[in-house]
Amino acid sequence: MKLFEKNEGKEDRIVRAVLGALLLAAILLASIQAPLSYLAGLVGLILLFTAAMGSCLLYSLFGFKTLSKKK
């Protein structure tokens, strides 16, 4: 098990990036108030980071992959 081995497929990365951006936008637009905004910001940043890296720590721990196998 490698920690930063790519294990996310293209669709998974897109969904994570969109959800992360929406969470951060909701905070900036003051749609989410503290203390929930802190949690939403953390989750949003994690989603954006994992989308950019293509690797999810939880996927690695549980041996789950959405990345298709290349032949």
DSSP state at residue 55: -
Q: What is the pLDDT of residues 5-64, one digit of tens each?
A: 899 999 999 999 999 999 999 999 988 888 899 999 999 999 999 999 999 999 988 988
Please give the helix or strand (H or E) that residue 36 lies within, else none: helix 36-53
For residue 1, pLDDT beyond 70: no
Task: Find the farthest-apart pair of alpha carbons in the chain and give their distance in angstroms, rounded.
Answer: 48
Amino acid at 61: L
For residue 65, pLDDT beyond 80: yes
